[in-house]
A and B are shown apart, each in its own frame.
Chain A
Amino acid sequence: MHILVVGGGMGGTILANNLARRLSGEIEQGSAKITMLSASDKHMYQPGLLYVAVGKMSTSELYRDQKSLLEPSIDFKVDPVEKFDLDNNSVTTKSGKKVSYDILCIATGSRGNAAGIPGLAENACQFYTESDALAMYKKLQKFEGGKVVVATGVPHKCPMSPLEITFFLIDYFKKRGIWDKVDLHYTYPIGRVHSLEPVANWAAPEFDKLGVTYETLFNMKEVVPGKVISEEDSSAEFDLLVTVPPHKGMQVIEDNGLGAGGFIPTDKKKLNMEGRENVFVLGDTTNLPISKAGSTAHFEAEALGENIAALVQQGEPVREYDGKVFCFIEAGDGKATYAMFNYDNPPNPQAPTSGLHWFKTAYNRMYWASARGII
């Protein structure tokens, strides 16, 4: 039984390690094999970019060698997939190798698509890649005061980032002693300041207390120097624009016609690709109407790991993904809270505490143990 995992990010890594542990006996005997194909030999802790953008983390802390995170029994190759031939259960890689599989797991993730908003890349800050996060920090260091606007594209990964970057910016300006020279204006695509209603109900009064103005139903259409214009015919002038760009799935998914926008139609509980019993999808790559978050990929990987192992060992799946998501929310001022929910239970976040901020701070360093499948 050959299980092929495409994508070495959070979801793919946790899934591959989970499977390698569960199927260690079969792998040793030679009746099962796990291969991972990835575009990079490095694994990046993406949530760390938010901290890099405001100078709270260094880029060296973001990376580990992918091989060091994987169970030794996993055959790992830096050779990304270019063609998917699902009808014939095979993929073709960049180096031209054809790899056949019995079970395919696609976890290629998503990426910021600044090109989707004319003028965004040239006129705004972003923090979804290392170079963008560093560039944003450099720009912040040179900023001496003025109008700062935060704007968010749809869809995007890390649902808490628009709020978190706002609270981190406030901390940053206060630390630099220029908060009194900053006029911070927050915009958001839907009719409240966050997609999660309890979170929005907590955040809006916090903004009021801090003197942060906000405009809802604001979807970026175009950015020109000094002004961001919305689809709703509104605009906001800025001296500094900080954005969460709209996202797309990976190019290879679009090129192979696997899903519009690079997001693959996926069964919400079984996590198989619609119409394909032996192809599974997890993480940002799915088209599921749930948060594109690291924790989503993590919990999906755990459910899938158990299920695929059961398929191999017993011929039947044993579990369904229940939609679980757990997102920390850094609220600035050394405090954090979290939102936890699944398909059936809405979130009920509590007031931020320093204990939870420390939990997140510790987790930022303990992520690697979870990538290895230990926690």
Chain B
Amino acid sequence: MEGLALNDRAVIEAIYRDNYPVIQSFILNNNGNSDEARDIFQEAMIVIYEKAVSGNFELNCLLKTYIYSVCRRLWLKRLHQLQRYGSLVENMEETVAVEEDLELHEKHNTDFILMETAMNKIGEPCKSLLDAYYLQKKNMQEIAADFGYTNADNAKTQKYKCLVRLKKLFFAQYKNGN
């Protein structure tokens, strides 16, 4: 789990190898295609990632069971949205309650989308500037060079201006959205 919180590729790969085939066959057996299986599994991975990052990831079941439960829930919800009804073909897998975790994930997801839309709205060069500094974690010297500012301080000033705009946009949406 620590490896997952640190975004360790080897850990991610191991989880995929152990769990993906089961989830894929579950979704293919229940009216889904392989693209949808990928989507669902990805979302489940983000759920466990968020849980790992939050630091209180205590599993009282196998990781396999947890992932299956999350994917099953997510897929049921997706089927409902797509209005594809039908009885679920279940493997004989046990499941655990994951509703709370998914609610939390749902909230994180809306925040994520809010931030993304805000970012898309501030326009260039603000978007690239903030992206480079806050998301790609580049330092100000690099950014100044990349964007053609004469020095890092000017880039920094510009960055703060952008941040003020982003903040306004984000909180305007955040208050509307919640």
Instruction: Tell me, yes or no, whether A binds B.
Output: no
